[in-house]
Amino acid sequence: MGCFFSRRRKPALGGQQQQQQQQQAGAGQDAAPGEQKAPQYSWDLRAKIDPKDYTFSGLKDETVGRLPGKVAGQQFVIQDCENCKIYIFDHSATITVDDCVNCQIFLGPIKGSVFFRDCKDCKCVVACQQFRTRDCRKLEVFLCCATQPIIESSTGMKFGCFQYYYPELALQFKDAGLSIFNNTWSNIHDFTPVSGENNWGLLPEAAVVQDYVPLPSSEELKAVRISTDATKSIIPITRGQRQKNSDESCLVVFFAGDYTTANARKLIDEMTSKGFQLVQTKEVVMKAEDAHRVFQQSASEFISLLEKGPVVALEFNGDGAVEQCRSTINEVFSGTKVFVSESKASASQDVDNFYNFADMQMGM
């Protein structure tokens, strides 16, 4: 069937519209007489993705990786590797790791899920939105996970808190939509528990990342300026589900602003240098009704600040934690509006109120 065009005069085209029309018109110019060349669409003009660039498969005794900027949010597949050191120094959409044995793996921020299947004797450093394993044995994982990690039909699993640094990592977390303060690394859900057995546990408190996943030895990957020093970690190192050393905790909440992250990191450094321990952190959006539930009598002071963005909450533990938090905030953050527990007696309730709300908010 032929094409019919309206005889009405068309309005003048803008520069971009004109260019598009010229491209479409030009698309058929090379066609043979009587033959119309198919028009080009925007998705035809994109650079073609070669799956091989986003796959490590069937490797043995190799060190391989991807430098910052080389994955750029694509999906990645790792499969059938043995005795390999694998490093993904970039953010990705999702990653599957299948049938790998005795491998050491670093996976930069993953916007969605990472799924380990049929793997054994692997040591990993992983940051992700969702973490899941199935039919795995003896995985040791330094983990940052925004939601509750799930293991299924897996045994001998050990977990520690993610600790890692290289210059591009903070921006990669942002590109993956992950907050450095949302890390439920130790709150594991075992989908297939066995009565009388424990399929998972925590790595030793003094565990050092580099002893599990060493720095890369290949010349190409050495270009990434890595530090596994816990004090430089992009993720604040938390105690998580480990038993607290004291019955006194303190809740501190920073409100959204230009220096929220920097202020939270500064307080963590100040408190941990004095021997207090960071139990857990959270970044979450609060509404006025949430403020009343969490901050109770002092809620009216903070409601107007909630419109600026999510809050960052920190729980510190140790004898004298409340007094030290209040003192440090008065000295170091005197011009900043911060919620701090008022007393040891109220602090426990503050912590419960906030984290119960946060867990509901995040579907935990």
Cβ-based neighbour number of residue 306 at 10 Å = 18
275 φ/ψ sector (left φ>0, alpha ψ -120 to 50, else beta): left
Distance CA 304, CA 258 (A): 16
Parallel, antiparallel or unpaired: strands 85-88 and 104-117: parallel
Distance CA 82, CA 102 (A): 6
User: Residue ranges for the binding site?
Assistant: 112-113, 129-132
Work out whether the CA dihedral 150, 154, 155, 158 comes out positive or negative. negative
Angle between helices 344-361 and 321-332 (to 10 degrees): 80
361 φ/ψ sector (left φ>0, alpha ψ -120 to 50, else beta): alpha
User: Residue ranges for the binding site for GTP?
Assistant: 112-113, 129-132
Distance CA 203, CA 35 (A): 68
**The token pair that represents 40 in the structure block:** 């080009």
**The token pair that represents 252 in the structure block:** 């501190």
Q: Is 165 exposed, middle or buried (0-12, 13-18, 19+ CB in 10 A)?
A: middle
